[in-house]
Amino acid sequence: MTNDLVLGVAGAGGDGVISAGEALMTAAARDGYRAMMTKSYGSQIRGGESSFRLRLSTEPLWNIGGSLDVAVALNWDDFLRFGAELPVGGRTTVIYDSASGIAIDDLPLAGVSPQEAIAVPLSEIAREHAGTGKAKNTVVLGLLAGWLGLPRDSLLAGLRKRFAKKSPDVTEGNERAFAAGIAFAEAHPLRSTRRLEPPQPPMVPRLLTDGNDMCAAAAIFAGCSFFGGYPITPSTEIMQFLSRELWRYGGTVLQAEDEIAGIGAVVGASFAGRKAMTATSGPGMSLKSEILGLATIAELPLVCVNVQRGGPSTGIPTKSEQADLFQAAFSAHGDAVRPVIAPTSVADIFGTTVDAFNIAEQYQTPVILLSDAEIAQRKEVVDPIDTTVFTLVERRVPNDRELEHYMRFQITESGVSPISHPGMEGGNYLASGIEHAESGAPTASGVMHARMNEKRIEKLAPLKSRRDLFTIEGDPAAPLAIVSWGSVAGVAREAANLARREGIRVKILIPRLLYPISEEIFGEFFASVRAGLVIEQSHQGQLYRIMRMFVDVPRGLESLARSGSNPITPAEVLDRLRAMVTTLQSVRVPEPEPPPG
């Protein structure tokens, strides 16, 4: 028995790979397994190859895992197109359609010998029992139910639901194909241990969703009542979710004519007093840059989600990358500092989105929520979220006394000035992208410009002490460290856990606040550190470089960074850590310190 399993399935468009994956995940999640699933497609709009990766476990999961435990190739050509996304290794069980005619000892795996390979007459079983080769995916479900010990009743219930609208023939055919898959699995037991331990059913129902939907739901929870945006992969589902749901809460959604108009309308709605959000990806961020600057100088709250994908330009729209951190931090002209925060998982994007709204409203600033395609598109079983722990921040509006001699941009101790909105008598002011005096009147005064820059930047200083925006785990005195962010932080976290289990003294820092950089929190963290890794999915290692701008990092701190679409795995991180230990002789735990004196 095992308690953790990574499964990858690929086939041609029309093979029903994705629907099989959804069915498998839903059934397993219903029965109490933790699960994570990513889907991947060829670049065709319809048809073409498709695949999914599903990780199932009885324990909480941080990432989608590395090398596959079980690989299913409905078709080898399609399977191989996914390359590093579906890595087969020496410990993989490979299942494929014997109709391919490929011999077990001649698999097209470029020298890799999997632990076990089984050719199953998938097409033949499907035709025999369901009367159509289309039911191959259902045969695979049966095989996996049999071999992995997955809950048959839940899977069967899912099948019936899925085919509910089809004719009884189709449903019955698929039920027979499912049973035949199970029968084949029982008649041909695996040599490798792939059977999953039964899960502990949760006391409270868990949630099942992806990062984009979770982000949109969090926006509703946080009080967002206006969304303006434009369709762009891989962020579009945020707009789609809100287009369906936001109206129910009295909100408005505008699909704008372009990215600029989307954020323009959001600025307008915020000026009018609403909590407002837009969502986009790299190319859209480039277009929104000017209006983000306007929101900074006009001190208008808004949340701008960037679901990062491969760049520059169109890049690889469907693949995840973390290469927009420089853009998020630095793409404004002028001395503009705006908070950049990043979620680390589907579960985490709920709280991070709420934080984004709270920071925006409290400090009257645009906030960039730097999500990534991995989180956005990944489906995940999420533990119930206690929403009562969140406090929702509302912007500070002027009181009656302040409205008597209202100054919109009054210099205050905190740098935050009460903000009025149209409809408030006495609060009338001129919002502008032009530099302004405290009253809002345009100015070209150098003195006023310097004071306003200081106000706008210094008002954000308290953020840098927000320890809740940083996750730190492990021995505070550890000489070895990992820093990671976004979806890749899940990989880093698992690697750190594995390393600690081997006795390696390593601690990990996962900043959700990426900008402005907290010199204090990074500085403290690095105090004990002699060597370490900054792990991120970009060619340049952008967090590594930004940290070095603001913090004295340890000399032994290295960047483990790679372009998107080339996944970083826990095993690989662990290897790097082991190598670092060898160099840093003293970092193994056992030897106790000699007593003082």
Partner 1 sequence: MMTTTSTSSYAAKEYKSDLKPIWCPGCGDFGVVQAIYRALAAVGRPPHEIAFVSGIGCSSRIPGYTTAYGFNSVHGRALPIAQGIKLARPDLLVLVAGGDGDGFSIGGGHVAHAIRRNVDLTYIVMDNQIYGLTKGQLSPTSTKGLKTVSSPHGSIEDPVNPLMYVLGYGARFVAQGTPADMNGLADLIEAGLRYPGFAFINVQSPCITYGRVEAQLKAYKAAMRPLDTASRPAGAAEKRSSWTVGHDPTDRLQAMKLAAEYGRTLYTGIFYKDSAPEPTYEALAGERARSLTASGSSRAEILKIFALR
How far apart CA 573 and CA 579 sit, in angstroms, is 10
Residue 262 near partner 1 by CB under 8 A: yes
How far apart CA 484 and CA 479 sit, in angstroms, is 17
Instruction: List residues bridging with 366 in a β-sheet.
Output: 302
- Please name the residue that has the structure tokens 């632990």: 115
Shorter beta-carbon distance to partner 1: residue 189 or 201? 201
Q: Quick count: other Cβ atoms within 10 Å of Cβ 466?
A: 16
265-273, 356-364, 490-498, 573-581 -> range binding partner 1 (CB under 8 A)? 265-273
Q: How far is the CB of 589 from partner 1 (least distance, A)?
A: 40
Residue 369 near partner 1 by CB under 8 A: no
How far apart CA 38 and CA 372 sit, in angstroms, is 13
Greatest alpha-carbon pair distance for the chain in Å reads 85
Per CB under 8 A, the list member of 276, 332, 367, 480 interacting with partner 1 is 276
- In degrees and rounded to multiples of 5, residue 556 shows phi and psi of -85, 10
Contact 419, 273 (CB under 8 A): no
Q: Which of 517, 535, 548 is nearest to 481 (CA)?
A: 535
Per CB under 8 A, the list member of 231, 427, 523, 556 interacting with partner 1 is 427
Per CB under 8 A, the list member of 62, 147, 271, 515 interacting with partner 1 is 271
38-46, 257-265, 357-365, 507-515 -> range binding partner 1 (CB under 8 A)? 257-265
Per CB under 8 A, the list member of 273, 317, 523, 556 interacting with partner 1 is 273
Residue 157 near partner 1 by CB under 8 A: no
Shorter beta-carbon distance to partner 1: residue 231 or 556? 231
Contact 106, 130 (CB under 8 A): no
Residue 394 near partner 1 by CB under 8 A: no
Contact 248, 277 (CB under 8 A): no
Q: How far is the CB of 26 from partner 1 (least distance, A)?
A: 8
Per CB under 8 A, the list member of 23, 36, 207, 328 interacting with partner 1 is 207
Residue 564 near partner 1 by CB under 8 A: no
Could you tell me the strand order of the sheet in which 252-255 lies? 252-255, 226-229, 276-280, 302-308, 366-372, 340-341, 513-515
Q: Quick count: other Cβ atoms within 10 Å of Cβ 82?
A: 20
Shorter beta-carbon distance to partner 1: residue 238 or 382? 382
- DSSP assignment of 96-135 equals EEGGG---GGG-SSTT---SEEEEE-HHHHHHHHHSSGGG
Q: How far is the CB of 498 from partner 1 (least distance, A)?
A: 29
Residue 452 near partner 1 by CB under 8 A: no
Q: Write the CB contacts of 405 (distance below 8 Å, at least 6 apart in sequence).
A: none
Q: How far is the CB of 158 from partner 1 (least distance, A)?
A: 12
Q: How far is the CB of 298 from partner 1 (least distance, A)?
A: 8
Contacts (CB under 8 A) with partner 1, residues 14-43: 26, 29-30
85-93, 184-192, 247-255, 583-591 -> range binding partner 1 (CB under 8 A)? 247-255
Per CB under 8 A, the list member of 231, 433, 554, 556 interacting with partner 1 is 433
Instruction: List residues bridging with 472 in a β-sheet.
Output: 509
Contacts (CB under 8 A) with partner 1, residues 337-366: 350
Shorter beta-carbon distance to partner 1: residue 258 or 552? 258
Per CB under 8 A, the list member of 441, 461, 571, 584 interacting with partner 1 is 441
How far apart CA 366 and CA 302 sit, in angstroms, is 5
DSSP state, 541? -
Handedness of CA 193, 195, 197, 203 (dihedral sign): positive
How far apart CA 463 and CA 417 sit, in angstroms, is 17
Shorter beta-carbon distance to partner 1: residue 385 or 452? 385
114-122, 329-337, 352-360, 415-423 -> range binding partner 1 (CB under 8 A)? 415-423
Contacts (CB under 8 A) with partner 1, residues 216-245: 217, 220-221, 223, 225-226, 228, 245
Residue 552 near partner 1 by CB under 8 A: no
Per DSSP, the three-state class of 234 is coil
How far apart CA 348 and CA 475 sit, in angstroms, is 23
Q: How far is the CB of 456 from partner 1 (least distance, A)?
A: 17
Instruction: Please name the helix (run of DSSP H) or strand (run of DSSP E) that holds residue 520, with its range, or none.
Output: helix 519-526
Binding site for partner 1 (CB under 8 A): 26, 29-30, 205-209, 213-214, 217, 220-221, 223, 225-226, 228, 245, 247-252, 254, 256-258, 260-262, 264-274, 276, 290-291, 293-294, 298, 350, 381-382, 384-385, 387, 421-434, 441-442
